[in-house]
Amino acid sequence: MKKNMKWRYAMMPVALAGLVAIPLQGCEDAQNLQQGLCCSEFTPGADLASVQWGLEGNAELNYGAFMQAVSDFTGVANAMVTDVENACRAIAIDLGSDPGEVTATTPDGRAKAWCDIAIGKLAPAASLKISFQPPSCRVNASLQGSCEGRCSASAECKLTPGEIIARCDPGKLSGKCEADCTARCEGSANLAVTCEGQCEGTCEGTCMGNCAVKDNNGNCRGACEGTCGGQCRGSCSMSGGAKVQCEGQCTGGCSVEVKAPKCTAELSPPKAECNANAECNASCSASASAKAECTEGSVTIEGDSNLEDIIATLKVNLPRLILVAQARGQAFVDNAQAIADLSGSLSGAVGGSVKATACIIPAGAAIVQAAANAQASVTASASVMASLKLGQ
């Protein structure tokens, strides 16, 4: 995964370079651009839906959707590296580090430095028993649908629940199941769901296999390496055709049509009449992927009482690191390639507008920093997990 991520992120600045090289008509120099004299609209994470870029027809639609995708990608990447830095910083300080110990000035540098310190402080944690429910991310289908509507300029192309169901891989379709859930029932640390299968989280009931923690009555109250019967504070994959009433989100199989459907993967292309502008729709898909709705998994930690400080800080901060290393980070690997491909397709298409040409400069700089932030986030969080022998 790391190798693919580095390759894909390396492609983005190269692809953007072709756009940056377009003559800057009406602007004095790059310094003026950075001061906002020619481009004040673009900032990472901004909503750019109402911005007029000064282009015509499809060029305006394509460029606007692309810039929104860049804004979404860079905004979330910056937030992600901050989350990783804060989690590792909290672990390090909770275990005795000086709050002023890290002097790095860049977000990616600070994240790496604090996570390296946290790893050193967690050396005694080797004896801990840690299990976790993997986090999950769902593509923001509503965002994708509203964006596609702007691409087609047709009210008939608005994304409906029925369209989400039709455009989602059945195995990735998630929602409220009002009958029997036959695939995967998603709970959380705060929501126990009925389980007859493999529980990724804490099993409460019987465990046909090895249970990490049992109560005084011999019932399982921890990670179950086998079939969990009872409730699962995490995610339960049903086994042997089991059918249960799912109190959480049912993913991949419900005996009736799910309510409030969501998709845990990218939606397939829209119907033909709404897919006239493929490049614009591709940017919409990239935006939806970047702004995926992610849920932290639950963490169960058992160990000696002399490690209670380590256990306490890991219970609070480890889920954020697992989320980046195992869910959100992978989505960014995939999305990096999409952004690179889109930037290459726009080359030569923005020369008719001073604003559109000028805004490539800050967008390109933001992409380069976002790539560094995303890479550092995944690498640093994965390093902490590896030090705890998780996910290996």
Cα–Cα distance for residue pair 250/197, rounded to 1 Å:
14
- Angle of helix 57-94 relative to helix 107-121, nearest 10 degrees, comes to 30
Cβ atoms of 189 and 168 closer than 8 Å: no
Name the stretches of the chain with pLDDT < 50: 1-37
For 325-366, how does the pLDDT look when each residue is reduced to its tens digit (9 = 90+)?
988 876 776 677 778 777 776 655 676 788 888 888 888 888
Q: What does the pLDDT read at residue 338?
A: 76
- Exposure of 56 by Cβ count < 10 A (0-12 exposed, 13-18 middle, 19+ buried)? exposed
Cα–Cα distance for residue pair 213/298, rounded to 1 Å:
16
Cα–Cα distance for residue pair 67/44, rounded to 1 Å:
10
- The DSSP call for residue 133 is P
Per the DSSP assignment, residues forming a β-bridge with 233 are: 202
Torsion sign, CA atoms 244, 249, 255, 260: positive
Q: What does the pLDDT read at residue 155?
A: 65
Cα–Cα distance for residue pair 86/359, rounded to 1 Å:
31
DSSP 254-269: BSSPPEEEEESSPPPP
Q: What does the pLDDT read at residue 104?
A: 95
Tokens representing 172 are 């990735």
Helical spans, DSSP H, in 104-204: 107-121, 141-152, 161-167
Strand 184-186 with 193-211, pairing? unpaired
Q: Is 182 helix (H, G, I), strand (E, B) or coil?
A: coil
Cα–Cα distance for residue pair 51/32, rounded to 1 Å:
20
Cα–Cα distance for residue pair 366/73, rounded to 1 Å:
9
Residues 6+ apart with CB under 8 A from 390: 130, 132, 322
Q: What does the pLDDT read at residue 343?
A: 75
Q: What does the pLDDT read at residue 27?
A: 46
**Closest by CA position to 204, among listed 216, 185, 221, 190:** 221
- Angle of helix 354-387 relative to helix 308-323, nearest 10 degrees, comes to 140
Q: What does the pLDDT read at residue 351?
A: 67
DSSP 213-251: -B-TTS-EEE-EEEEEEEEEEEEEEE-TT--B--SSEEE
Q: Is 178 helix (H, G, I), strand (E, B) or coil?
A: coil
Report the amino acid identity of residue 46.
A
- Per 3-state DSSP, what percentage of the chain is helix, strand, and coil (rounded to 5)? 50, 20, 30
Cα–Cα distance for residue pair 133/72, rounded to 1 Å:
27
Q: What does the pLDDT read at residue 392?
A: 56
Residues 6+ apart with CB under 8 A from 251: 172, 173, 174, 183, 184, 185, 186, 264
Q: What does the pLDDT read at residue 38?
A: 64
Give the phi and the psi of residue 185 in degrees, each rounded to 5. Answer: -110, 120
Domain ranges of the chain: 2-138+279-387, 174-258
Q: What does the pLDDT read at residue 145?
A: 81
